[in-house]
Structure 1
Amino acid sequence: MHDDIIHTLTDWIEGNLDKTLSIDEVAAKSGYSKWHLQRMFRTVTKQTLGNYIRERRLTLAAEALRQTQRPVFDIAMQYGYDSQQTFSRVFRRQFSQTPTAYRHMMRRQSLIRPSGYRFDCSDFATHPCASVVDKTVTPACS
């Protein structure tokens, strides 16, 4: 029963990570007291509600750092941080490096590709820069 409640609630949280979410607001959405919700959430997920929200936001922020050229400040604001310094401190605690260092590392990794690497077409067949040959996808724009 608690699993279903927490699953439904995490689905709602996922859809609202770009908004300001307080534990009080999440508790109100759930219909449970803040204390009871946090206890139930920790029992089911083995982490606190606050940590779950923070980790999910940081994961989405890391994805934005990898996939866009947007300024770190803009990404920090999008995911609910009131300053770039606060975002950088929390990001470093989670990923052991600053957002800028993370972005540079991910760029370097994306430039390095082992020779003879073959892609599974089930994952990349629809990529616009790929051509399918003998059920193997070969990047066409490298």
Structure 2
Amino acid sequence: MMARIKIDLEQPYDEFEIGGKVYKVYYDDDSLRKYEKQCHKFADEAEAKPEKEISQMSEEEKKKLEEKQRGLLKETIETFFGENTYEEIYEAAGRSLVNMTKVVMALSEWLDSKMNVAQQKRREHYTKRNKKKR
């Protein structure tokens, strides 16, 4: 009789609860790459200095800057949570860009932890294999 080895695998997602609603964020390889790319874009844009200090901007310039920031937040939120999720999360965040930034920071920390776990597992796997060969 042949031995059967059963391996139970969990679905590759974690759940985030925001404003009483649960969102699934997947951590399959393709999703992680997509998230990482978007987080780099977000960080690069967030660190870019505006051409003028905000205090020296006209109302129109401030409005354009805020629209650009809002667009980047929307793109980032929807990269993780799916299309058309920005508005409901923005409402749950009290229509506050500060709170939305907190959501993005939580996502970024989550992504870092997932990427670190994946790297650690690969490192352990190859280290074990190399030790066996010796």
TM superposition score normalised by structure 2: 0.32
The structure whose residues are more often helix, as a share, is 2
TM-score, length-scaled by structure 1: 0.31
